[in-house]
Amino acid sequence: MKPLLACAFAALLLPATLSPGTAAAADGSGKAQGAAQDAAPDISQKAFDAANALRVAGKYAEAEQAFRRLVAARAQTLGAEARETLLARGELVKLKLIRNENATTEAEGTALLQILQRVLGAEDRTALNFQRWMIAAKSAQGRYAEAEQECRSLIPIVTRALGPEDDETLNTRMTLATIFLGQSKLEEAEKELRRLLNDYARVDTAHAERAVEARHNLAVVLMQQEKYDEAETLLRAVIAAHTRRLGPEHPSTLSSRNVLAAVLILEENQAAGVKELRSVVAIQTRTLGPEHRETLRTRSNLALELPPQEAVPEFRALLAVRERVLGPEDPETLGTCHNLALHLSMQKKNQEALGYAQRAYAGRAKILGRDHPETRDSERLVNDLTKPEAKA
């Protein structure tokens, strides 16, 4: 089974909060307002926190609507470029990124980042945090080299502006580690994640949840390095921690369970791994929806464990959904092409398989680069399918 890469945004879900002084300004309450205040749009910190609570609970559609209302209310009452309005706009863009609307949101996010840097300053915490999210979005699209370069440039700026032990500095380093992971730079990813865990433990207990996310990503690295025992131990601890803090059906909990299933299968405990995957996909279908990226990812992992006669129709169905929802050149759409080609070849349908393999290779070469491990996998598959014995 192909190991599952950690989702970048699972490690980067940061609640944006206003400082006490700003929150008071955002409240807009006062005796002079009288009864008219009751009818005014809600621009308060309470409304911000309620929308953020929906996001933390994984109720992304509801959270998006709540932040849309808040942005409109604050823009009307405080002005389009007031800090409080920009904070709410930033959370709205982040929600779209969490929901994997990366390509369509990039222009909006780039424009907002320029406003944040102009109005608040390039080294303002809010601007630096949002810049990190935009880098993570590029990584999620498979634009790893670009994301790595930008993240390496951002780290010294954040460190200088906020300090080496600040939460935002540590999270920017976490982003770099996930970019390494996406490129299969496993030694660099492991080194950075272990350094982060040491720093989280040394700084204070306020970083406990970030340490859990670092352990999740370290487990993925260890899995890809075939260090399965340590990966499984880490993941079980991560799942227990997520369940206590976030609940058993939160996307982060399910993401870690998905990776645990991969580890179990790689440890040749296929029955336990498949059982875990079926449980996760059922919860994701109910809570996130059948076409959410995480639901599709789990379905794909499950399909990899099916016999070819069952896997092929499942990969055809997944490809149709991913083309429509994610786009024809999304890395996961191209991965589905590769997996469909592989399973068609197992059924000796080599001519049809070749078409999907060539599409996967061309797309991966364009999006991920010719030297990316997944591109090389598809290139090998194309070569295998064009050998004389494959055409026989």
Write the DSSP string, 89-145: HHHHHHHHHHTT-HHHHHHHHHHHHHHHHHHT-TTSHHHHHHHHHHHHHHHHTT-HH
- The band of 4, judged by pLDDT with boundaries at 50, 70 and 90, is very low
DSSP string, 268-331: T-HHHHHHHHHHHHHHHHHHT-TTSHHHHHHHHHHHTTS-HHHHHHHHHHHHHHHHHHT-TTSH
CA gap 195, 180 in Å, rounded:
14
Q: How far apart are CA 392 and CA 388, in angstroms?
A: 7
Enumerate helices (H) and strands (E) in the chain, giving the number of each. 20, 0
Other C-beta atoms within 10 Å of 266: how many?
Answer: 19
Whether the per-residue pLDDT at 14 is higher than 60: the answer is: no
Nearest to 161 by CA among 196, 193, 126, 136: 126
Name the domain count of the chain: 2
Both 278 and 342 in a single domain? no
The helix/strand/coil state of 75 is helix
The predicted structure's pLDDT at residue 205: 57
Please tell me the predicted confidence (pLDDT) of residue 18: 29
CB count, 10 Å around CB of 306?
A: 15
In the chain, what is the greatest distance between 2 CA atoms, to the nearest angstrom?
A: 86
The whole-number average pLDDT for the span 320-331 is: 88
Contact 140, 102 (CB under 8 A): yes
- Token pair in block for residue 375: 């591109």
| pTM as predicted | 0.71
- H or E element that contains 30: none
Last residue of a domain, one of 243, 278, 305: 305
CA-to-CA distance for 153 and 159, rounded, in angstroms? 11
| 339/372 same-domain check | yes
Confidence class for position 9, pLDDT limits 50, 70, 90: very low
The answer as to whether 138 is a domain residue is no
Specify if 150 maps to a domain. no
Instruction: Please report where in the chains the tokens 């990226």 appear, as a residue.
Output: 293
Q: How far apart are CA 356 and CA 282, in angstroms?
A: 28
Is 139 inside a domain boundary? no
Whether residue 259 sits in one domain with residue 338: no
Q: Measured between alpha carbons, how far is 191 from 171 in angstroms, rounded to an integer?
A: 15
Q: From residue 85, how far is each of 76, 125, 171, 324 by CA, in Å?
A: 9, 15, 24, 33
User: Per the domain annotation, does 187 fall within a domain?
Assistant: no
Q: In this structure, is residue 294 part of a structural domain?
A: yes
Q: Which of 171, 191, 175, 71 is nearest to 125 (CA)?
A: 171
The predicted-structure confidence for 328-361, as pLDDT tens digits, reads as follows 988 889 999 999 999 999 999 999 999 999 999 9
Considering the domain architecture, whether residues 333 and 314 belong to the same structural domain is answered as yes
Asked whether the predicted pLDDT for residue 125 surpasses 90, the reply is yes
- How does residue 183 score in pLDDT terms, banded at 50, 70 and 90? confident
> What pLDDT, on the 0 to 100 scale, is given for residue 232?
96
Please state, in angstroms and rounded to a whole number, the distance separating the CA atoms of residues 266 and 4: 11
Mean pLDDT, the chain, integer: 85
- Same domain? 273 vs 320: no
pLDDT band at 58 (very low <50, low <70, confident <90, very high): low
Mapped onto helix, strand or coil, the DSSP state of residue 347 is coil
In this structure, are 277 and 332 located in the same domain?
no
Q: Are residues 263 and 320 in the same domain?
A: no
Domain that holds residue 391: 309-392
Examine the pLDDT at 17 and tell me if it is beyond 80: no
Percent of the chain with pLDDT over 90: 63
> Is 314 in the same domain as 385?
yes
Looking at the domain assignment, is residue 282 inside a domain? yes
For position 315, which CATH number holds? 1.25.40.10
DSSP 7: P
Residues in the chain: 392
Classify residue 37: in a domain, yes or no. no
Confidence of residue 22 (pLDDT cuts 50, 70, 90): very low
- 265 and 318 part of one domain: no
The answer to the question of residue 286 being in a domain is yes
Instruction: Say whether both 285 and 362 belong to one domain.
Output: no
Tokens describing residue 338: 């590769």
The amino acid occupying position 235 is L
Query: How many angstroms separate the CA atoms of 326 and 167, rounded?
Result: 32
Six-digit token string for 262: 């991969």
Rounded average pLDDT over 282-289: 92
For residue 203, what is the enclosing H or E element?
A: helix 186-203
C-beta separation of 259 from 280 below 8 A: no
Please name the residues in contact with 295: beta carbons below 8 A apart, sequence gap of 6 or more: 281, 284, 285, 288, 289
321: tokens are: 């959904």
pLDDT band at 40 (very low <50, low <70, confident <90, very high): low
